[in-house]
Structures are given as C-alpha cells and as structure tokens.
Amino acid sequence: MAMGLAWATAALGVFFIVLAFDTIGLFRKKNQFPVDGRTVVITGGSQGMGRGLGKLLAQKGANVVIVARDREKLKAAMEYISKSAQHPETQRFHSISADVTKPEENVRILQEVTTWNNGQAPDIVWANAGVSAPGLFVDTSIETLRAQMDINYWAAAYLAKATLKCWLHPSSSSDKPFTAKNSSLLPRHFVMTSSTAAFCGIAGYSPYSPAKAALRSLSDSLRSELNIYHGARLHSSSSGPPADIRIHTVFPGTILTPGHEAENKTKHPVTKILEESDPAQTEDQVAAAAIDGLERGYYLITTQLLGAAMRASALQGSPRNNWLVDTLFSWVTSVAWLFVGPDLESKVFQYGKEHGVYKS
C-alpha cells in the first residue's frame, strides 16, 4: 500500500514537472503560425474573442478581414483593430457584413476577400462566429435548437467547405500560398472556435454544446481527409495543393463579454451552480492563449488549465499536441473524473431535490 502510494506520488510529481516545462515553452518548436504580411479572415470578428483575435493578429503584422452581420459594430471593431497595426503604412484591413448561417454567404466572403487581396485567397481563415442560448432541453423551442446548430456548427462547416474548395481547387492559376523569406510556401490554416462545453455535458447547455462537440468531430475528419490531398502532391498528376493545409480547433471556456452577461440573464440556476468555480478570461487573454497554441503547432487548443484537463480526458483518437504531456494528463484526469463526474451529477440532483425544476 505504502509502495503504491509512493509510486502514485512520484508519477504525479513527474506529471506536474513535465506540465510546467511545457507551459514555459521548453518543448517549443519554431513559430508554426507566422502571420506577418499574411491575410487572415475572422468571422464573428466584431466583438468578444473575435475582436481580441483581430487586435493581436494586427499587432503581429497580419492583414485582417473581420466578418459579422452588424455594420455599426463592424465599423467600430475595424477602427479598434487597425489602431494595433504593427506596420501602419503597409498593413491592410477590411470588413464584410454577412450572414454566415447561409452557405452562399460564405462563398461570397471568400470571393470578396480574394478580390480585395489582389486575386490571392486568404492564408488563414478562422470560423469564430457563435452564440450560446442556454436552457433546459425540453424548455427550448425547436426554432432555437435549429438556430443554435446553424450558428455554432453549420456556419463553421459552410465556411470550411468554401475555404477548402478555394484552396484545393482555385479558380485562378495565379493563386499561391504565402511565401516565406526562404522561398518556402507556408501552410494555410483553417481554425474553428468550439468550446470546453464540447468535452463535458453540463445541464442547461443542451441547446449549445452538441453543436460545439460536432465541430471537434468535423475537425478530426477534415484533418484526416486532407492527407489525401497532401499525398497527391507526390503523385505523377501533381493534383495536390502547393502547400499544406492545417486544421485547428480552439476550445475556450468562459469569456467575459457582453454576450456572456446576456447569457446569465436567462441561464438556469443549476447551470450557474455547475460553472461557478470555472475560471473566466477576457477576450484578450483568450486570443493570446489561442494564438500561442497555434504558434506551438497545436491541433486542439485550450485557453486555460481546466480546459486543458478536459481536452486531455476526451482525446480518444485525436492527434496529440505533446504525446508525453497529453498521456500523463489523460492518466491524471481519468482518475479525477471518477470524482468530478459524480459530483456534477449530485449537484444537479440536489438542486432538483431542494427547488424542483424551477426555483420559485
């Protein structure tokens, strides 16, 4: 018994040492996500995480295009982002008003950006549009359930299809990926914003979390399918894309935005109980963590430690960011879930016992 406890303690100590080394960048490779001089498209870019991403990417030298429905919010966000330009004389900024829940609008976005970008398709596209409408499943209207899937899954899926068709089957032979200083073609990146709600079922998020979980599955499938095209570059027909295309998905937790404040006004009390200890981040903190993960070359990216633990416990067949850290983390979290899972379910049960379904 004592020997087993000693081994468990030693293993846990090794895990935290490795995690600390990974956090400070000991395993860090060269920047896998250079953006200086490249064109980046961000949907949902007028507020929240999207605005934070636009600001940080502008600081790193990117040409930024933001997409949203509200023209006034777009204008304000564009002014805010452009002030952060690293190269004010040469960097370019553009905004597009579009409804990304419509497939044809996503095609238009790619066409408009390509025209604006002198005939070159964007180098990086980030499907960031999304909104949460929390509530109990049986109380949520069919219209809301469909709308949640439209904005949180289909909007990203439509943009992925339009983007990948643009990159894999360009309409112009002059379209080429961005070239680095050493004349090598840099990979293009398609990024989706999901949520830590994709990793764990929480009472009150049933209209929202299934769509975010679907993004993770889409991400795995697209990453697998793109290997066909990358391999085709070695085929005699040379039918593959000129440079690699990389897929990534980001899983933020609670973000302190006006949207989050609006959610809390209608959120069921039991949902608030379950997430009361969750860490919250500002839009700038989330953007910085997301881009740091991309620069490290990560595939599934979380923005804080709790999210990282949830990701490690739900990896299944997804590629690992770091095989050692992720393996150790998954061992630790598999034990933690023996206690966390029942505790979450107990809190929901206890709420119903004390208050009924609806608190009077």
Closest CA to 199 of 112, 301, 46: 301
Distance CA 120, CA 309 (A): 39
Distance CA 317, CA 300 (A): 12
Copy the structure tokens of residue 326: 């992720």
Neighbours of 99 (CB within 10 A): 15
Distance CA 299, CA 144 (A): 31
Catalytic residue among 60, 212, 298, 351: 212
- Beta partners for residue 300, in sequence order: 249
Distance CA 230, CA 244 (A): 6
CB 60 within 8 A of CB 90: no
Q: Provide φ and ψ at 205, rounded to 5°.
A: -110, 15
DSSP-based three-state secondary structure for 60: coil
Cα distances (Å, whole numbers) of residue 117 to 63, 76, 85, 246, 331 = 9, 22, 17, 21, 47
Catalytic residue among 158, 208, 298, 351: 208
CB 117 within 8 A of CB 102: no
Copy the structure tokens of residue 79: 């002014």
- Beta partners for residue 125, in sequence order: 41, 190
Would you call 208 a catalytic residue per the annotation?
yes
Q: Provide φ and ψ at 247, rounded to 5°.
A: -105, 140
N-term to C-term CA, the chain: 50
Q: Residues of 190-201 as b/e, b for ≥16 C-beta within 10 angstroms?
A: bbbbbbbbbbbe
Give catalytic residue positions.
208, 212
